[in-house]
Structures are given as structure tokens and as C-alpha cells.
Amino acid sequence: MALRALRGATRLQADDPAEMTAAVVELLTTIFERNQLSSDQLVSMIFTATPDLVCMFPAAAARGLGLGDVPLICAQEIAVPGALSQVVRVMVHADIERSRAEVVHVYLRGAEVLRQDLAQ
């Protein structure tokens, strides 16, 4: 097994706790499914949110997936003029048997424009 970093992002329509929860759960579930990950393989996750998202911590939404023993942390994304708004990003660190080239990064809900080279 190797430690790999899996990237992902999603975009919200509003700064709303219910939407934050739904978007983060959808993003993580999709990352886990596409990479055939179980919670035992997770090492840690780093979440960032754009400065216009303050309704809740993305990590709090992730806890609803039963990730109580996985270290999670949130940070604020840099406020770059003209950057895409209402975006949550995640970097998942996991022990998996895939090579870097086989890792599937996930971009949803309009966040695909952030990394068209990685978006599936």
C-alpha cells in the first residue's frame, strides 16, 4: 500500500448548512466509490472553503459519514479576485494500492472548471 492524496471540489449554490452537508457528503461518497476506498484506509483530510462560505465547517458535514476517528481539518481558501465562489475543496490522504496515475480525483457541481485536467 502507498499513501496517496486524492483531490476533489464541489460548488454550493448558497451558504446554507443543509446544502453544505449534502455537497460534502456527495463529494466524499463519490471519491470513496470511484477509488474503492473504505474508512479504514483513510489517514486524514484537509478541507478548504472559499471566504463566502461560513455557515459551517465542511469537516462537520464529513463527520456524518462515520469518520469520527479520521483526523479532519478546515482552512479558508485564499481570496483571489475573480476566483470561483462558494467552493469546498478536499484533499483526502489514504493508504491505497493504486498508482498516482490510477487515482480518481472528483470535481462536482460546477467545480469541474477548476481542474479540467483532473475532472472526470
Catalytic residue numbers read 7, 63, 74, 77, 89, 107, 115
Question: In the 8-state DSSP scheme, what is residue 113?
Answer: G
Give the E-state strand segments of 1-120 in sequence order.
2-11, 42-49, 72-76, 87-96, 106-107
First-residue to last-residue Cα distance in the chain: 24
Residue 97: all three cell numbers together: 494500492
Q: What cell does 63 get? A: 463527520
